[in-house]
Amino acid sequence: MSTRIKNKEIFIQISILTAVIIMGAFIYVFSASLNPSHKDDTTEEKLHIERTYPARFLLEKSSIKHTIKDRQVILEGSVFNLSETISYKNIVLKINLYNKESKLLNNQNLVIEKSITPKQTIEYTTKLDGVESVEYAAVSVLKADIM
Least confident among 49-53, 57-61, 128-132: 128-132
pLDDT at 89: 96
pLDDT at 95: 93
Please state, in angstroms and rounded to a whole number, the distance separating the CA atoms of residues 107 and 72: 16
Least confident among 19-33, 76-90, 133-147: 19-33
pLDDT at 132: 75
Q: Is the pLDDT of residue 64 over 80?
A: yes
Q: What is the pLDDT of residues 96-133, one digit of tens each?
A: 998 889 999 889 999 999 999 999 999 999 988 767 78
Q: Is the pLDDT of residue 76 over 90?
A: yes
Contacts of 42 (CB under 8 A, 6+ apart): none
Please state, in angstroms and rounded to a whole number, the distance separating the CA atoms of residues 96 and 94: 7
C-alpha atoms less than 13 angstroms from C-alpha of 107 in its C-beta half-sphere: 10
pTM of structure: 0.68
Per DSSP, 57 falls in state: G
CATH class of domain segment(s) 55-146: mainly beta
Q: Comparing 120 with 31, which gets the higher pLDDT? A: 120
Which one, of 101, 100, 96, lies nearest residue 128 by Cα?
Answer: 96
Query: For residue 27, what pLDDT band results from cuts at 50, 70 and 90?
Result: confident
